[in-house]
Amino acid sequence: MTLFEICSAVDAGEDLSSNELLSELKGALEEAQKDFQENMPAVTDEAQLMDCLAVHEEIEAAIGGYNRRASGRGAPVPHHGCGS
């Protein structure tokens, strides 16, 4: 199950910041995103770098979907890439 699916399963009026599971997942994704940003410059293999960029984009999309839903701007937009 992805963060998108979890956010979509939450009741429309529920405050996402009060959902402990979502808060933990978002925090873990933010930490992973930070690690990717710090370590990607050291990747010299082009295929590995493309894989890293794809995962980074997935993380970005998941956090963006959470933020859209948390701000009341609607459900997260599904992203159909790796890991979905």
**How many domains is the chain built from?**
1
Is 14 within a domain?
no
Domain that holds residue 33: 1-6+20-84
Is 12 within a domain?
no
- pTM, rounded to two decimals: 0.69
Q: 3-state DSSP call for residue 12?
A: coil
pLDDT bracket for residue 8 (50, 70, 90): low
Number of Cβ atoms within 10 Å of the Cβ of 16: 17
Mean pLDDT (whole number) for 10-23:
77
H-helix or E-strand spanning residue 25: helix 20-39
Is 64 within a domain?
yes
pLDDT in tens, 44-84: 999 999 998 998 898 888 888 888 877 876 554 454 444 44
Number of Cβ atoms within 10 Å of the Cβ of 69: 23
Is 13 within a domain?
no
Is 65 within a domain?
yes
